[in-house]
Amino acid sequence: MTKQHRSAGACPHCGRSGGFPLHLAASGLLLAAAVFFWWSARNKAAAPAAAAPAPAAVGALSAERVAYLLSPAGAVACGSCLASADKFLLGKLGAAVAARTRGMVLVQAGEYQIGSPDGVGDPDEKPRHAAALDAFYMDARETTVADYMKFAETTQGNYPEWAKPSGNADPKSGDAAAIVASCPSCPVMGVTHKDASAYCAWAGKRLPTEAEWEAAARGGTATAYSFGDSTEGIGEYAWYEANSAGMPRPTGTKKPNPLGLYDMHGNVWEWTADLYDRAYYESSPKRSPAGPEKGRDHVLRGGSWAFEPEALRSGNRASSGKANDDIGFRCAVGKAEIDRLAADDASKAL
């Protein structure tokens, strides 16, 4: 094969002589293009990211978005985010419930035995019967003098008998005003049923029904007292005639019942929401009984510092139509109502 002869001035790569070699021109163009693209990418990375377009409905999710989030596909795609949101919202709701039920005890929904068995108690406690109750909260302690007087001074009304110029509450030992003035943590006494109801409403609560009161007082027990059938050791749980020195005592200073409620036996009688009817148990509703529609007096429960142990039984019933120096109260509220109000509180806090 004859080798092609090249002139001395020809390019050794392309054999072109004279002018700018084509392969060098192509390489130059490729190099220039590479530098251009590198520089463009570098400047794009350094520039701030453009803001994402705003959604069509700012501040509100469309029905389609909500439907997606609730769908199986949405649960998979957004699972961790939804779980975090649930945890956050449940935390807000829990805090709202805790704030509204501070100092209260939850009594679970269920069927409770109300009344006393044969051979125990008085005729108005018969027959013992089952009552289905919705869940509710009950104040762990009786309403104190300090708490009640905040209400009376704020509303400029509903003063206890001992705080009225014409009051007639007169403890058997000493002057009522002097006793309560020196014991702000004692249960308030000398208040009417109307006064007690007004205080509970002011506090966002209500008086417990008689059935709720007994269910809470028993604390899951079926005995005469929440601590047993015998009165032995009653002084560990109650202020009553033998240990009170003739006056109410600071709340919460004796042992609580199984639910954590104090002074359900003794210290002061407690108003309930129900009117009194001695034969009510013979025809009371099986679900959420709320007392007879008509009556003169309201039901009292729990006994007091001025009474013997028999009056302090969980099933004992009494009644009154006026204030007295050993009658006080505590409040309750339905769990459903608390859940509703707490949900509103939590949404407002978001």
89 pLDDT higher than 90: no
Report, as an integer, the average pLDDT of 241-258.
96
20 pLDDT higher than 60: no
SS3 sequence of 115-180:
CCCCCCCCHHHCCCEEEEECCEEEECCCCEHHHHHHHHHHHCCCCCHHHCCCCCCCCCCCCHHHHH
- The label of the residue with tokens 């109307």 reads 194
The burial of 31, by beta-carbon neighbours within 10 Å (0-12 exposed, 13-18 middle, 19 or more buried), is given as exposed
Burial 299-324 (b: 16+ CB within 10 A, else e): bbbbbbbbbebebbbbbbbbbbeebb
The amino acid sitting at 131 is: A
Per residue in 319-341, pLDDT (tens digit) is: 999 999 999 999 999 999 999 99
Could you tell me the pLDDT band of residue 37, with boundaries at 50, 70 and 90? very low
Q: Higher confidence at residue 162 or residue 310?
A: 310
Contact 335, 100 (CB under 8 A): no
Of the candidates 100, 91, 94, the residue with the CA atom closest to the CA atom of residue 338: 100
Q: What domains, with CATH codes, occur in the chain?
A: 140-333 (3.90.1580.10)
